[in-house]
Structure 1
Amino acid sequence: MNPIPHHTKQNRPKIRFNLKAKMIMLISILIISIFIVFAFFLHDFISNTTEDQVGKRALSVAKTVATIPELREAFQSDNPAAVIQEIVMPIQDVTEAEFIVIGNTESVRYFHPDSAKIGKKMVGEDNDRALLHGESYISEAEGSLGESIRGKTPVYSEDGEIIGIVSVGFMIDDIREIIKKQNYELWLTISIIILLGVIGAILIATYIKKLLFNLEPEEISNLMIEKEAILQSTHEGIIAIDNKARITMMNTSALHLLQEPFTEDHYIGKSIQAILPEFNVPSLLRDNKCMHDIEVVMGKNVFLVNQTPMYQKDAKIGTVLTFRDKTELEGVIHELSRVKQYADAQRAQNHEFSNKLYTILGMLQLKQYDEAIDFIKRNRETRDKWDQFLTDHFTDPIIHAILQGKWNQANELGVKLSVHPDSELSYRFSEIEKDVLLTVLGNLIENAIEAVKNEAPEKRKVSVFFTDIGEDILIEVEDSGPGIKASHIPKVFDQGFSTKNGTNRGIGLALSNQAIQRINGEIILEDGDMGGACFVIMIPKREE
């Protein structure tokens, strides 16, 4: 399988965001969301853990100080503050606590980092649990130095009585500064991880997009739908096999031509010999060249088989077989020989398509991709509606050929050629009638287009009407041109007479009149409803 060619992207669906951008965006959002949530969790965890550890540290220091024997004895001395200061000051320096405060049972300070506050009552009003109930605990309150986390524990005498309290604290502002520093390192690390994640998302998206031949999911879906539609609508039988001769794909036409009783799903994964035992499988797998129109006898039928190997990066991955019934093909060739007489009517179509292709090429070169797609769709829809109308209302293919060719010619000249919606023609023409109709109808429509092509764009209209109701076939060709002067009407079918400038004029209508008379028909000129000329063709029906 070769890479998707560039031109297949002309009909790509409108895509707001491509796959690569979507993948990068979605993966990045996922990574960022996860790490932001994780970061907030860590922030909360670090804050709580830091405060808890500081509180436990304060309480541990408080308990250690409270159990110092000299401290207990100092409470019994005449000047406890002087003795306690000598004991506690070195401890505060070692532990780096913001403050160590020691007070008696009345919460009067015996020691404080600020000597001016010794002898005054402790601030915070959270000493009752230690002094009244003998608890050791951690509290958060605003003291004389500011808001702090404090560990408090009672001081016991030798007899087990509460004789004082120890309070060790660390300032909240200092703790927050520690947390802020830790959070900065956390967010820096997470930002680096997110950046690496985004780079990884870009690399993953690029790799996956490359694996998909730079196609979007919508384009892949479109290609799958188009592939299935093409396979199932193709009249030729198509079978794809891998390098082990196993069927990987086949269409309905293959089952129909081979008269197999099961659906295509029944044969997927089975050997090609299950339905084509006549094939030389080793040779089929070994041959790396394309082969065309090889005659193969299968049962009572003769098929023309084509073989095309499939490659991916210069490695053969399988083979595609297409085949068609030779007998049916011979019938098609016979039909094509008859269609050659209508070739002139189709020349305008080639010219029209050439102009459209150049228009599309210009749009693509100017990178006007949306305009090119809209231009293709508009022309496709118009042509499909026209073809469907011809199929529904006209049985004979000659009418299709004439109208199709003239419709293309009219479009090329900016003329609107329309067929009356009530037109209906199921009559089967003989070979002579077909030849006459090709000449007459072709000339009349040609003249109508010539009559209006120099008019204003909104007045360039030609209308055709067909009906086979009654004993005669009636065909009307009418235009919105200037019409034919009354003085010219008697001479309009004379050879050599023409209202147009130039040489070799005045031949078409004369030949048409002569041709229609050979099948006992008639051409009549009337005043048209559109303001121009109206030619009516009457052809009597043959007796069956």
Structure 2
Amino acid sequence: MIYFQKSDIKNPHIKPNVTVNLKLKMILLIGILIIAIVLVIGVFMNYFISDMLETQMGDRALGVAESVAHIPELVNAFKDDNPASIIGPIIAPIQEVTGAEFIVIGNAEEIRYAHPIAAKVGGKMMGEDNERALVRGESYLSKAIGSLGSSLRAKVPIYLDGNIVGVVSVGFLANDMQTIIHNYNSQLWIVLLLIAGVAVIGAIIIASYIKKVLYGLEPEEITHLLIQKETILQSTHEGIIALNQNGMITMINSAAQLLLFDKQIASDYYVGKKIQEVSPIEHLSVLLNDVNGLSDKEIVIGNNSVFINTVPIYFEQLFIGTVSTFRNKTEIESLTKELTRVKQYANALRAQTHEFSNKLHMILGLLQLGKKKEVIDYIQKESNLQKNWIRILIRKVADPLISGILLGKLNQANESGIDLVIHQDSILENQLSEKKSEVLLTTIGNLIDNAMDAVKKNPSSNRKISIFFTDIGDDIIFEIEDSGEGITEKLAQKIFEQGFTSKEGTNRGFGLALTKQLIAEVNGALYLEEGELGGACFVVSIPKNPREGTENNA
């Protein structure tokens, strides 16, 4: 099982260049956005409030003017010889109650009958905006500069017996209106600034939370990790697929696509789908979702035999899915064969080196004792023995690799005090294909090694191994026999099973199983028979290709 903690996510030692950290960047961006929004709202509200107050005051002025224009006493005052004396007392309390800056009454010639400043009564009305009321009889609002300054004022005509006899002008000074608008806007901007301040504090809190959720990683670091993870994932030769707790694919690499689906397309096609939706193998989803995990489970997918390893993943003690790896059995077997051959060559070289060293020491000892004749005889004997082995192997075995391993095993057996004999009628003249040569190399090495192990417990006088091989006929035959204890009938049924062994130690029980499988791949067979030496006798039979036979006959 794999357990992740939050502290496992970030590696502070691998960092891309980061100019501005994410937290500060978010605070600045959100802050700028908030300020921009506040400014837009403030400008809009400032215009809205100004327009609304101006409209309200204009409606208010127009309402007061309409009311004043319809006061009977005021209208009848136009019949009097001195209208100002009657109209003035009527207007003064109305102006005070309504809060208007001024209420001015003028006749058809625009002569004032009422004004807030008594000295201006009798003078001509200013602004030149009375025409619409006096000529056309309209009620309206206007902005003009009067005797009291710039103002917004309502103009309403006064009718007497159906004729326009005067005009009512009710207004509010522009300076007073701006003061009111400024007061409202000041309160508005204070509220908006408070909102902006709260929003900036919120931005800081949000940025801190997001930074915490991302485990302190910057966007550049996340991008770097994503690219790194994707590169590692896709460059791995083993197939890798990850599922979440619901059985949906969250990650898959190219090697897994080739093994599972025999094609390679964009990973996005598979991500987010359940494994049973994209794979025709019914029991695959069960294997990949195993919460207990799997180790080297062998299954057949299409034309490939693969090993599956499934590991459950836990984050903060919560099961979040599984990761499964796929290894092609053929590739593993190829590596195993290569390692076996290397081991065989190494053992052979080690044996020759050790034996050669022992012989040099013996020659040195004889020379120190002055036994020159014995040294010459010993060297001549060893030379003849080596030449005899080499001559026999060169003459009887056409494949140099087979000759090499047999010569190495002869030296290894000689060093170990084992009498290894190649039968004089043995012959292997046909040129072997590369595949069959590799199979025979692995087979010969494993079987001879097993035979040596079997006879090591015997007395030195009974450590014998016999090898016979021939390619006469349609098959290549190898017989390797030893004088060991042999194999009982009960064990004979299990010795070719992978993992089964009668020897002590770990990592055993694979040699014979691998050998039998390799021989089967070239349509050969491996048998166990009762040998003449009293131990086990393994017989290897490999059919010759038609081409091999014809080449030899040619």
Deviation at 1:261, TM superposition (A): 4.4
Looking at structure 2, the residues matched to 100 and 336 of structure 1 have their Cα atoms a distance apart, in angstroms, of 118
User: How many Å apart are 1:205 and its aligned residue?
Assistant: 3.0
Change in CA separation of 1:256 and 1:42 when aligned onto 2, cut-off 3 Å: closer
Q: Which residue of 1 aligns with 2:262?
A: 260
- Distance (whole Å) between structure 2 residues aligned to residue 264 and residue 60 of structure 1: 76
- Report the counterpart of residue 286 of structure 2 in structure 1: 281
Shift of 1:14: 1.6
Aligned to 2:225: 223
CA gap 1:335/1:198 in 2 versus in 1, 3 angstroms: farther
Q: Deviations over 1:490-528 (max 9, x none)?
A: xxxxxxxxxxxxxxxxxxxxxxxxxxxxxxxxxxxxxxx
Aligned to 2:171, what secondary structure does the other structure show?
strand
2:146 to 143, 147, 168: 143
Which whole-Å deviations, capped at 9, do the CAs of 1:328-356 have from their partners, x for residues lacking one? 45357569989x9xxxxxxxxxxxxxxxx
Query: Are residues 307 and 67 of structure 1, via their aligned partners in 2, closer, same or farther at CA, if it must alter by over 3 Å?
Result: same
Q: CA deviation at 1:116?
A: 1.5
Q: Could you tell me how far 1:315 is from its partner in structure 2?
A: 0.7
For 1:60 and 1:42, the matched residues in 2 are separated by 26
Q: Equivalent residue for 1:202?
A: 204
1:133 aligned onto 2:151:
no
How far apart, in 2, do the equivalents of 1:180 and 1:195 lie? 22
* Aligned partner letter, 1:281: V
2:103 corresponds to which of 94, 100, 107? 100
In the other structure, the counterpart of 1:171 is 173
Distance 1:101 1:170 in 2: 12
Summarize deviations over 1:296-320 as a string: whole Å, max 9, x none.
3647977665443222222111111
**Counterpart of 1:103 in 2: which secondary structure?**
strand
Q: Which residue of structure 1 aligns with residue 45 of structure 2? A: 42
2:155, 2:167 within 8 Å by CA — same for their partners in 1? yes
Report the structure number with the largest CA radius of gyration.
2
**CA distances 1:371-393 after superposition (whole Å, capped 9, x unpaired):** xxxxxxxxxxxxxxxxxxxxxxx
| Equivalent residue for 1:83, pick from 81, 86, 92 | 86
**Aligned residue type for 1:129:** R
Preserved contact between residue 241 and residue 323 of structure 2 (Cα < 8 Å): yes
Return the alpha-carbon distance in structure 2 between the equivalents of residues 6 and 308 of structure 1.
19
Using a 3 Å threshold, how does the CA distance of structure 1 residues 71 and 278 change in structure 2: closer, same or farther? Answer: closer
Tell me, in whole angstroms, the C-alpha distance in 2 between the residues paired with 1:167 and 1:105. 13
Are positions 1:65 and 2:68 aligned together?
yes
- Measured in 2, the distance between the counterparts of 1:314 and 1:130 equals 87
Match of 1:360 in 2: none
Q: Aligned AA for 2:130?
A: N
Distance in structure 2 (CA, Å) of the matches to 1:302 and 1:221: 37
Q: Deviations over 1:239-275 (max 9, x none)?
A: 2223344443332333456683455746653437947
Deviating more after overlay: 13-22 vs 3-12: 3-12
Match of 1:487 in 2: none
Aligned partners of 1:336, 1:277: CA distance in 2, in Å? 40
User: Of 186, 189, 194, which aligns to 2:188?
Assistant: 186
Equivalent-residue separation in structure 1 for 2:275 and 2:170 (angstroms)? 87
* Matched residue SS, 1:223: helix
Q: Separation in 2 of the partners of 1:283 and 1:255?
A: 15
* Runs of 5+ consecutive residues of structure 1 not aligned to the other structure: 341-544
1:55 maps to what in 2? Answer: 58
2:109 partner amino acid: E
**Counterparts of 1:308-347 in structure 2 under 5 Å?**
308-324=311-327, 325=329, 326-330=332-336
Q: Spell out, residue by residue over 1:408-432, the C-alpha distance to the aligned partner (whole angstroms, 9 max, x if none).
A: xxxxxxxxxxxxxxxxxxxxxxxxx
> Which stretch shifts more, 233-242 or 204-213?
204-213
> For 2:172 and 2:100, how far apart are their aligned partners in 1?
6
Residues 302 and 327 of structure 1 are in contact (CA less than 8 Å); yes or no, is this contact kept in structure 2? no
SS of 1:286's equivalent in the other structure is coil
Give the secondary-structure state (helix, strand or coil) at the position aligned to 2:290. Answer: helix
Q: 1:218 deviation in Å?
A: 2.5
Instruction: Tell me if structure 2 keeps the 8 A contact 1:245–1:285.
Output: no
Residues 7 and 149 of structure 1: CA distance in aligned 2, closer, same or farther (over 3 Å) = closer
**How far 1:231 sits from its partner (Å)?**
1.2
Matched, 1:25 2:28: yes
* Whole-Å separation in 1 of the counterparts to 2:221 and 2:90: 83
Q: Which residue in the other structure is 2:275 paired with? A: 271
Given residue 286 of structure 1, which amino acid in structure 2 is its aligned partner?
Answer: V
Describe the shift of the 1:202–1:211 C-alpha distance in structure 2 as closer, same or farther (beyond 3 A). same
1:47: Cα distance to partner? Answer: 0.9
Shift of 1:24: 2.9
Contact 2:34 2:199 in 1 (8 A): yes
What's the CA shift string for 1:211-252, capped at 9, x where partnerless? 333323322222222112111212223222233444433323
* 1:327 partner amino acid: E
| Partner Cα distance (2:139, 2:274) in 1 | 83
Of 217, 234, 237, 1:235 maps to: 237
SS at match of 1:213: coil
TM-score, normalised with respect to structure 1: 0.55
Equivalent residue in structure 2 for 1:113, among 83, 100, 116: 116
| Closer, same or farther: CA 284–329 of 1 in aligned 2, 3 Å | farther
Output aligned runs, 1:402-413, within 5 Å.
none
Q: Pick from 8, 12, 16 the counterpart of residue 19 of structure 2.
A: 16
Aligned-pair distance for 1:281? Answer: 3.0
State the one-letter code of the partner of 2:38: F
Structure 1 residues 196 and 75: alpha-carbon distance in aligned structure 2, compared to 1, 3 A threshold: same
Amino acid at match of 1:309: P
Separation in structure 2 between the aligned mates of residue 285 and residue 12 of structure 1, nearest angstrom: 36
| Aligned counterparts of 2:95 and 2:341: Cα–Cα separation in 1 | 112
Give 1:312's aligned amino acid: F
Tell me by how many angstroms 1:188 deviates: 1.9
Q: Are the equivalent residues in 2 in contact too, given 1:245–1:281 (CA < 8 A)?
A: no
1:154 corresponds in structure 2 to 157
Q: CA deviation at 1:84?
A: 1.1
Counterpart Cα distance in 2 of 1:130 and 1:281: 94
For 1:212, the aligned partner's letter is L
Once the two structures are superposed, the pairs formed by residues 411-490 of structure 1 within 5 Å of their partners are none
Percent identity between matched residues is 47
For residues 448-471 of structure 1, give each alpha carbon's deviation from its aligned partner in whole angstroms, at most 9, with x where no partner exists. Answer: xxxxxxxxxxxxxxxxxxxxxxxx
Specify every segment of 5 or more residues in structure 2 that has no aligned partner in the other structure, as ranges. 347-554
Q: Can you list the C-alpha shifts for 1:156-176, whole angstroms capped at 9, x where unaligned?
A: 212x22222211111111111
Three-state SS of the structure 1 residue aligned to 2:16 is coil
Task: Using the TM superposition, name which of 258-267 and 177-186 deviates more.
Answer: 258-267
In the aligned structure 1, how far is the partner of 2:90 from the partner of 2:132?
25
The whole-number CA distance in structure 1 between the counterparts of 2:275 and 2:9 is 34
State how far apart, in whole Å, the 2-side matches of 1:296 and 1:90 are: 107
Amino acid at match of 2:212: K
Q: CA deviation at 1:118?
A: 1.5
TM-score, normalised with respect to structure 2? 0.54
